[in-house]
Amino acid sequence: MQERFGRSILELGGNNALIVGSDADIDLVARAAVFAAIGTAGQRCTSLRRLILQSDVHDKVLERLISGYKQILPRLGDPLHSDTLLGPLHTQNAVKEYLDTIEEAKKLGGRVEIGGKVIEVKV
């Protein structure tokens, strides 16, 4: 017999998309996408996982996303430092899964526009 009956709470990861049409404010889209993807380091079920872009805005959005991520790259590092915006993957297995995912995306026809490799940070 069960001693305590309580509600079950499931934390299910989201598969959230940002859908962008040709009438969108591209600068706002880029800022929102970068924040939604990395603002919580993927630790929320509301983190952005994919973009669905109308073809005529693809290149503009991509250009601005690359610019946004270039601003973040110098701020990767030790999460105990106040100037760090995004901390590292914390295990070798996480790094392997990251690299495996990138290779799988390439096999499926994807290409890496920025990043895509392990960043060695000296502490």
- Residues designated as active site: 11, 45
Report the C-alpha gap between 22 and 53 in whole angstroms. Answer: 8
Residue 51 main-chain phi, psi, to 5 deg: -115, 140
- Give how far the C-alpha of residue 80 lies from the chain's centroid of Cα atoms, to the nearest Å: 21
Q: How is 87-112 classified by DSSP, letter by letter?
A: ----SHHHHHHHHHHHHHHHHTT---
